[in-house]
Amino acid sequence: MVACEPDDITQQKHFRVDGALRQFVGEIQMAVVEHSITDSGNLLAWAQSYSTSTNKPALELRSVCDTVWVKRNFNDWLPPAGTNATRATAVVAKYKVEAKSYFMGSTFGAGRAAATGAPDSGFTKLDLTATK
């Protein structure tokens, strides 16, 4: 058995969080179309129900993240009008490796976004620790 170095464990966790966030953004974008979501209230209700779901991507999200913030402006979730829209942060996660907390964001274009802390009031907080 090969032991992982602390830096390897940290990188693996970052990679898993990135994948889970990209999946979450994609799931929300599909739900807007498939479930005919037309406002922020329904979008956030769907995101909350997804965060407690037993499907594999939701389980992975909960297993790697403690908290996720979801962009609440519904219009931001509609198909982008230009390339800059895909670079905007859609979700932000807080997670831990060992005892250290990290933040990571994911864009509407499913890319990684820099995050140094909890986002502003334009996001709604979903506590995933209650559903672990």
Q: What is the mean pLDDT of each run of 10 residues along the chain (132 residues)?
A: 66 94 92 91 95 93 96 81 68 94 89 89 91 62
Amino acid at 125: K
Identify which of 53, 52, 70 has the alpha carbon closest to the alpha carbon of residue 106.
Answer: 70
Outline where DSSP puts E strands in the chain: 67-71, 89-97, 100-107, 112-113, 123-127
Q: Would you state the pLDDT for residue 130?
A: 73
pTM score, whole prediction: 0.87
* Rounded CA separation 79/43 (Å): 14
